[in-house]
Amino acid sequence: MELCLFPRISYGLFHSIFSDNEQFPYLYQMTPKDTSLALAMVSFLLYFNWNWVGLVISDDNQGNQFLSDLKNQSKIKEICFAFVSMLAIDEISFYHKMEMYYKQTVMSSTNVIIIYGKTYSITELSFRIWDSLVKQRIWISTKQWNLPTSKKDLTHDTFYGTFTFQHHHGKISSFKNFVQAWYQLSSTDLYLVMPEWKYFKYEGSASNCKILRNY
C-alpha cells in the first residue's frame, strides 16, 4: 500500500501502523482512534461494580493496542482480569489452541467478558459459538459487530445479554426510530424484553445516559 501514489481511504478499524505518515502518506482512516474505548468500558464496569472480568481479544496490532489501553485504565480503577485470551488470527494456529480458548472462556468463573476483534473474523465466530454454550454471561463488545439484542436472546436460559459500544456522533434525524425498529424494542416494553435490567436498577430514560468523550 505504501507504493501507491494516490489517496486511499480506510473504513475499517483504526490501525496505529497506518498513522505513520512517512510510510503511508496517502492513506486516510475514516475511523477515529479508539483512545477512549478502554476508558468507556472500564467506567461501564465500575458503574455495575463488575471488577472481575475476562478478556477475549484478537492477537493482532489493534488487539494488542486495545489490551494495553484497557490494562492501563483497569489498573487505575482496580479491575482484575479472570483471564486474558489472545485469539490467533490465522485458522491453523487457532484450531491448535481451540480447546485452550474454550476452557478459558466457557469454564471461567467470571460472568462478564469483554471481547474485541475485527468483524467477520475468527474472534467473532468464536463469540457466536460461545454465546450459545456459556451460562449466564454478559458480553461487552463494540458496535461494529452489529449484534442486535433480540427477545429470543434475552429470554433464553443460556444467554444473559450483550452490551456494545460505538463512537458518538451528532444527532441524526429519525435515527432513534430506526434503531428501535431494527432491534424491535421500545421504551414501553424494555422491562419485558430485558428483565435483567431490574437487577441493574435501570430506568429507560435519556437522562440516565452520559456521553464519555466519543462514546
pLDDT in tens, 116-139: 877 556 666 676 666 666 657 788
Domains, the chain, ranges and CATH? Answer: 1-31 (no CATH), 37-167 (3.40.50.2300)
Q: Which residues contact 87 (CB under 8 A, 6 or more apart)?
A: 56, 57, 58, 59, 94, 101, 117, 122, 123, 126
CA-wise closest residue to 51 among 80, 73, 22: 80
Q: What is the dihedral of CA 132, 58, 147, 102, to 10 degrees?
A: 0
Contact 119, 164 (CB under 8 A): no
pLDDT at 189: 47
CA-wise closest residue to 166 among 17, 49, 41: 41
More confident residue, 14 or 96: 96
Residue appearing with cell numbers 435483567: 196
Band of the pLDDT at 79, cuts 50, 70, 90? very high
Mean pLDDT of 96-100: 82
pLDDT at 215: 52
Helices (H) and strands (E) in the chain, counts: 9, 7
More confident residue, 150 or 7: 7
Contact 113, 141 (CB under 8 A): no
pLDDT at 82: 93
Q: CA-CA distance, 41 to 214, in Å (whole number)?
A: 12
Instruction: Dump pLDDT digits (tens) for 171-191.
Output: 666 766 766 666 555 444 444
User: If you count them, how many residues does the chain have?
Assistant: 215
Mean pLDDT of 193-201: 46
Band of the pLDDT at 159, cuts 50, 70, 90? very low
Please check the confidence at residue 69 and state whether its pLDDT lies above 50: yes
Contact 191, 198 (CB under 8 A): yes
pLDDT at 28: 73
Contact 149, 194 (CB under 8 A): yes
